[in-house]
Amino acid sequence: MKFGILINEGPYQHQASDSAYLFAKAAIDKGHEVFRVFFYHDGVQNATCLSSPPQDDRNITALWSELAKEHNVDLVVCVAAALRRGILDENEAKRNGKDAHNLADGFRISGLGQLIEAGIQSDRLMVFGD
């Protein structure tokens, strides 16, 4: 089965990110495909490389980056939600006159069309968070 995943909550305010990650990992381990993970609303906070959780806490951003690298999972961050929350890739930083960017490895910024495509291309679109 091919899954699309939508995450609407940040990594440390809600269980949604952890649940989505564990679901994606379990699905892949069982031989299913994760077509795309789309980060929307506060979910874009999962994509910042600037978070530094304590060593004894999980680093959900690093876990997503590792999953993307190991299993070629497409991690897409909504551009409008990201810009509102200060999440920028190199291109968006230049376009908006900022001198830094903070999008973590394995993530990319794009628009809502990528969410629509995930819904069309996937057998199921799983939503985590409000």
Catalytic residue numbers read 78
Structure tokens at 26: 């379990």
Question: What is the C-alpha to C-alpha distance for residues 23 and 113, in angstroms, rounded to an integer?
Answer: 23
66 CB neighbour count, 10 Å cutoff:
15
Rg (CA), the chain: 14
